[in-house]
Amino acid sequence: MVATATPAAAASPGLNFSSDKTPNPTIVEDELTVHEHDRAMMDDPLEYYNDAGEVTTLNASVNSSQTTPVGLRFDKVDAEAFAQFPRVDNEGDNDATWTKASDWTTSSGASSSVSVAEADADGVEKVNVDASVASGETATATFGANVSLDSDPNKRVLTFGGNVNELASGATVEVRVVDGDGDYRYAEISSSVAASDETHIANGTGNGFVFQERISNLPLAGSGDGALDSIQEIDVVASEANADVTVSWLDADRKGEVDLAEIERDTDGDSELETTTVTNIWQSGPTNITGLSTLGDTFDEASIADLHVYDVRYALEDVTDESEYSVNFSSADAYSYPEKLELYADLQVPTAIDLSHGDLTLEFDQGLINERYAVLEVGSGVDSSTDFGNTSDSAMTGMTSALSGQDTTAELVSSATADTNYRIHAVILLQTEEVDTIMSTAGAVGPTGGGGGGFLGGFWGQLTAVVGTVLGGAWISRYFGGGS
């Protein structure tokens, strides 16, 4: 059993982050890739296996304004149902499955050839069909081991998932369900058709296609009695030119389509995106979905390789380690303001073997006019063990020039890197009523946090421990916390 990391005790800087005036420096990531998201063990897209094999959750959040915050390719999903065909006595326990190259046979025209090879990747069982086809000829890969569906063949659903690696000019690939006397129904891969046509899998190369269609809706052809009387084999037939496909999901047994996930798609041709649950994917690449919870029940215990998570925020409000922030409200007589907030924060994006990071930017949403930020500076690569008040001037870079006005976002570090500690120091001038707004409704503890412990040491720590119990740390910070 995989160990689960015990989360640290939750802490917070004790600020009201619902207020625009509250400083909340944030490292913004455009796209995080989680290389293994195991749905049997994980619910949140920000969960991952750390380097010790423990399930861990990033101290971060996903921008909730997005309609499709996560993406995945279904050829990178390991779901038990993908490899079950053919089902023997409906138990699914079958030594002969389409995932074994040795259970396929091949045939071709005199000047053509075709090979079938196991192509497992991304934790998913796959086979590759690579056809070299001369003009006017075909090349066929046939899976027929233990395939014998004699009842209701036309009521079943042909399912194909995978990648089109090569589709030469003029080439066509048909995925056929074939009966015993030579009749078949088929779905097609061809550049001459619309990919969204219900009888077509794809119209070009790409990854992550999923096709599901009731067999009765597919074109009928062949040399038998003119009716599909049973399903005895599945053929992958390339015609006229070279083609290469990788199969990650193959089935012709089920009588219903599998719900994939909820996406946004123009479903009625009015150029407006609507939310809909889909069963087919005809666009290449990651499919962006409205949430992991919208995946069909086929995927309840699936493992997803390379889960894409968009617009991830590593913000001060997500910090849970008291040593990584310090918050101090005090009088600001030297600035001719009633009060000030002095803030220190260490922000760092963690690294792990199972994580790949996209572009990172350290940003600061400005809730007040420029003049209120008496100090705003950032240090890149500051040792997190250095006391907040002892950071050398040379390690910090003044950033007040990056401010551009109230209700704007300042870019403090344009190309941040993971596993680098960014120390933010700000002195913000406040009116008394603004302090009340910025303080958490639960009562912001006065000089809080660690980063060296100077703020809570000695007599001050004893005083806040006693008086804070009665009056609340925020009150102490404002009326006992001196300084200018």
Instruction: Supply the DSSP string of 216-242, one letter for each residue.
Output: GGS-EEESSSSS---B-EEEEEEESS-
What stretch(es) of the chain map to CATH 2.60.120.430? 78-251
At 89 the pLDDT is 55
| Concatenated DSSP letters of 452-472 | SSGGG-HHHHHHHHHHHHHH-
Is 78-251 a domain of CATH 2.60.120.430? yes
Greatest pairwise CA separation for the chain in angstroms: 97
Measured distance CA(434)–CA(432) in Å, rounded? 5
Q: Pinpoint the alpha helices (H) of 324-457.
A: 432-438
Asked if 129 and 154 count as a contact pair (C-beta separation under 8 A), the reply is no
- Residue 30 has a pLDDT of 98
Residues near 324 by beta carbon (within 8 Å), at least 6 away in sequence: 345, 346, 347, 384, 449, 450, 451
Closest among 380, 382, 381, 398 to 390, alpha carbons compared: 382
pLDDT at 449 (0 to 100) = 54
Given this model, what pLDDT does residue 441 score? 55
Work out the number of other CB atoms within 10 angstroms of the CB of residue 375: 16
Q: Which pLDDT tens digits describe the chain residue by residue (484 residues)?
A: 344 443 433 447 889 999 999 999 999 999 999 999 999 999 999 999 999 999 999 999 999 999 999 999 999 999 999 999 998 754 545 567 999 999 999 999 999 999 999 999 999 999 999 999 999 999 999 999 999 999 999 999 999 999 999 999 999 999 999 999 999 999 999 999 887 888 999 999 999 999 999 999 999 999 999 999 999 999 999 999 999 999 999 999 999 999 999 999 887 778 888 999 999 999 999 999 999 999 999 999 999 999 999 999 999 999 999 999 999 999 999 999 999 999 999 999 999 999 999 999 999 999 999 999 999 999 999 999 999 989 898 899 999 999 999 999 999 999 999 999 999 999 999 999 999 999 965 444 444 555 433 333 333 333 333 333 333 334 334 433 334 4
CA-to-CA distance for 438 and 287, rounded, in angstroms? 40
Task: Please say whether the beta carbons of 50 and 56 come within 8 A.
Answer: yes
Q: Do residues 171 and 133 lie in contact, with contact meaning Cβ atoms separated by under 8 Å?
A: yes
